[in-house]
Structure 1
Amino acid sequence: MKKFMRSKMALCLTVILALTVTACGGNNNANSSSGGEAQGNAGGGKKTGILFWSPFSGSDGPFMKKIVDKYNSSQDQYKVNFVIQPNGEYYKQLDVALSTGKERPDLMIMHVDQVPTYQSKDQLQPIDGLAAAAGINESDFAEAPVKYATIDSKLYTIPLDIHPVVMYYNKDLFEKAGITSPPTNRAEFDAAVLKLTDKAKGIYGYVVPTLWPQQFIFPSLVWQNGGELWNGTDVAYNSPEAVEMVQWLRDMVEKGISPANVQQDGENTLFLQGKNAIQFNGPWMKSQFDEAGLNYGVAVMPQIGAAKQAIYAGSHGFVTPKAVTDSNTLAGIGDFLKYVSGNSLDWAESGQAVASKTVMESAEFKAMEFQSTVSESFSSVQFAPNVLNWGTIIEPVWGELSNAILGKKSPQQAMDDAVAKSRQAMK
């Protein structure tokens, strides 16, 4: 068996790319805003151009464009050229640009779980020196992404946001069931879903997804129950702590709290129809629920496990290629990131909970009920294990977890089979 541990950091779940791609938007058309080519440098009397790539090709793109436009209008030394790449092809396009140097960005958005991979390929430069020169401090941001993206004592990203799994609930169904507040622990959750279930009307307390977004839910449950996905030397999702959480999910199907054989996105369809009282999903669902006119609430995911509160999350951040060496360009990047760190309220308006403490502590952000609630999870978030090729290793879990939830295998057998398949992938 090959050794898969990195010294400090590692690759994220490959599958989380699909998850966070969903969070980043919908259409596949490359989009350019605030555009133009690099326009020389300040020394030549022209603005220094900064090519900035992002995967925000959905509804969130205009919010980042607004930030870029405001920055460009706020000063006359730098011009940020904002380019949106097709979200599904983002990392493929980035790999080509970084390896060939053709149309290489000076600054790009990167999911925090991807940072160790690109750093290990020697394609990123530490950003702490650039940040310090611009007056940006690590302490200005939520701790989790800063800690994760610090490799060999060097910081490689400036965090933009954190998107943890959260709990959405139907306020109308809660009121009818006489439940006055969202559950915060297992006992409250189990009692609530029983009250919320009305099989005669086709209403369920909690519809258990068999596929997505289990990639966010299952790790949270395992960690909450004192288990690990990786124990330091081997995969560990067949531990008693993990199997207990799989059984908990299966029990809700057997008790009729959830329908059986839920198809992809079935839990969301029922939530939109007012027939699923509770859903665990990401902040990116907000716009869909708003557009549907749902009377819903959002809360921190309850601590279902017995050990601790732990919530799986993703995060967007800014990174710079190692090949960017021009001093004017680097100074411009620092100036732009300094601006964003204090002016990311426009990004919060997209539904995201920003990582900047300056913005989080502002009265304007605190008045955003949804975003401020999401940020309450930040102290408990965890990212993917620090294991190389983790996405490939953990991939068998999702099919086997589905088998357990559907009753095709016992939870223990399903997780044992997942571990065996993961170990095979590690050879």
Structure 2
Amino acid sequence: MKKSMKLLGTSLIALSLVAAAGCGSNSSNSNNGGKDAGTNNQANSGTNTAAGNSGDAKAEKADILFWTPFSGADGEFMKKIVEKYNSSQDTYKVKLVIQPNGEYYKLLDVAMSAGKDRPDLAIMHVDQIPTYVNKGQLQPMDDLAGAASINKADYVEAPVNYETIDGKWYGIPLDIHPLVMYYNKDLFEKAGIAAPPTNRAEFEADVEKLTDKSKGVYGYVVPTLWPQQFIFPTLVWQNGGDLWNGTDVAYNSPEAVEMVQWMRGLVDKGVSPGNVQQDGENTLFLQGKNAIQFNGPWMKGQFDEAGINYGVAPVPQIGKAKQAVYAGSHNFVLPKGVTDANVVKGIGDFLKYVSTNSMDWAASGQALASKPMLESAEFKALDMQSNVAKSFDYVQFAPNVLNWGTISDPIWGELSSALLGKKDAQKAMDDAVAKSRQAMKK
């Protein structure tokens, strides 16, 4: 398997916290239609006639049941893409089902195992794909992609490389959503700061200038919970550390501990309040009392609605070693039991359409993974999304390790204790490692 991937059991994976925020939180299902896929011919039969490519025979009509976890505001943007595709041709009909985000992988596990009402096509986060491949629940998409003229070279390399396992391609990327830096332009102007920081020295100088404790305004509010799932790995990688060293968890290294101490140091210096509760940093940002926030592209809609005068920039290089940023990625995957030739052919047609018709998804705040879309004038005109895409050359995903969500889960409680000043940083990370190793034995 591509990269060293230690087999760590086949128990159901825990839904990762990365998925939880990246896809919204409010449940709203669309029409739940669909059928069991038949057991006809294999995926490499047929061509992408509905997308405009010539085929030897007229394509037969087919319905495609498509599951996503986009139960927040992002769901409406995917609905637009599906509706436009369905109206663009009359051979295939994609039936979109939006499952509750918090239950998504649990529902997907049940559907895939039982085969009943299983989706023909599904969205999956890139770091979940190795585990589902190991469980035998996904099939490669190489034949489907070849028949539909979908090429690996037309997508950003990072997710494609991650989801290519044993030489087979298991996911076609829709987007990449790295950690980004939001900043309050009004507070920056008031502090006399002309541009957002790009390194640690600039960041530390700026947050000092931006802090006015007499008015309850802080330069940077350190979150003690979410979105540390994006922030902590980013800082560790930037500082030359890692979460996994190839055979074992490694987040108690000197490089990792130094970054925990650095974050707690911002509280000790007074540029961040202490005892920040869940979403406290975001509440203060919305109130104009937090000048800088590290979060994901999915926050765009909330900030736009609030009318904040904000800017977006890549996360500064805080660590001493290199520029790096943690990212997630939504990908299209093909469940194992989908073998009906017409359905598979229709899926290829739909994915080919999305590869050059996904600006509605970009409008949700996401940076697209399709290079033709990234290079389009429409995408380049989007200030935030084009800024997000600037970090694609150095994005990193969760370690390519089976059941990583379960293994790494102890980090977040221990990290919170350290950031709240309840536990020494080294002790907290040592305890996290011990708990993770215990989880690996189960």
Q: TM-score, normalised by structure 1?
A: 0.94
Name the counterpart of 2:228: 214
Could you tell me the percent identity over the aligned residues?
73
Give the distance between the partners of 1:203 and 1:79, measured in 2 at CA.
Answer: 52
- Pairwise mapping of residues 172-187 of structure 1 onto structure 2 (< 5 A)? 172-187=186-201
After superposing the two structures, state which structure 1 stretch, 390-399 or 62-71, moved more: 390-399
The Cα shift of 1:46 comes to: 6.1
The Cα shift of 1:312 comes to: 0.6
Give the distance between the partners of 1:158 and 1:8, measured in 2 at CA.
Answer: 24
- Pairwise mapping of residues 401-416 of structure 1 onto structure 2 (< 5 A)? 401-416=415-430
The Cα shift of 1:144 comes to: 0.8
**What is the aligned counterpart of 2:168 among 149, 154, 158?**
154
Give the distance between the partners of 1:63 and 1:258, measured in 2 at CA.
Answer: 35
The Cα shift of 1:21 comes to: 2.7
Deviations 1:23-61 (A, max 9, x none): 21232242228x676999999996211111111122111
Name the counterpart of 2:369: 355
**What is the aligned counterpart of 1:309 among 323, 335, 354?**
323
Name the counterpart of 1:28: 27
Give the distance between the partners of 1:233 and 1:384, measured in 2 at CA.
Answer: 15
Tell me, yes or no, if structure 1 residue 77 matches structure 2 residue 72: no
Name the counterpart of 1:365: 379
C-alpha root-mean-square deviation of aligned residues, in Å? Answer: 2.5
Deviations 1:260-300 (A, max 9, x none): 11111111111111111000001111111111110011110
Name the counterpart of 2:53: none
Give the distance between the partners of 1:104 and 1:419, measured in 2 at CA.
Answer: 37
Contact 1:205 1:277 in 2 (8 A): yes
Give the distance between the partners of 2:366 and 2:344, measured in 1 at CA.
Answer: 27
- 5+ residue gaps, structure 1: none
Aligned residue for 1:30, secondary structure, equals coil
Aligned residue for 1:287, secondary structure, equals helix
After superposing the two structures, state which structure 1 stretch, 35-44 or 177-186, moved more: 35-44
The Cα shift of 1:77 comes to: 1.5
Code of the aligned partner of 2:324: A
Aligned residue for 2:149, secondary structure, equals coil
The Cα shift of 1:388 comes to: 2.3
Give the distance between the partners of 2:115 and 2:437, measured in 1 at CA.
Answer: 37
Give the distance between the partners of 1:117 and 1:90, measured in 2 at CA.
Answer: 15
After superposing the two structures, state which structure 1 stretch, 52-61 or 246-255, moved more: 52-61
Give the distance between the partners of 1:294 and 1:215, measured in 2 at CA.
Answer: 25
Tell me, yes or no, if structure 1 residue 170 matches structure 2 residue 184: yes
Give the distance between the partners of 2:19 and 2:433, measured in 1 at CA.
Answer: 25
Give the distance between the partners of 1:121 and 1:261, measured in 2 at CA.
Answer: 41
Name the counterpart of 1:327: 341
Contact 2:225 2:416 in 1 (8 A): yes
Aligned residue for 2:223, secondary structure, equals coil
- Pairwise mapping of residues 118-129 of structure 1 onto structure 2 (< 5 A)? 118-129=132-143
The Cα shift of 1:383 comes to: 0.8
- 5+ residue gaps, structure 2: 41-49, 51-56
Name the counterpart of 1:50: 64
Contact 2:36 2:117 in 1 (8 A): no
Give the distance between the partners of 2:246 and 2:285, measured in 1 at CA.
Answer: 38
Name the counterpart of 1:259: 273
Name the counterpart of 2:46: none
Give the distance between the partners of 1:51 and 1:253, measured in 2 at CA.
Answer: 49
Give the distance between the partners of 2:4 and 2:406, measured in 1 at CA.
Answer: 14
User: 1:250 and 1:315, CA in 2 relative to 1: closer, same or farther beyond 3 A?
Assistant: same
The Cα shift of 1:392 comes to: 2.3
Code of the aligned partner of 1:208: V
Give the distance between the partners of 1:5 and 1:66, measured in 2 at CA.
Answer: 39
Code of the aligned partner of 2:316: P
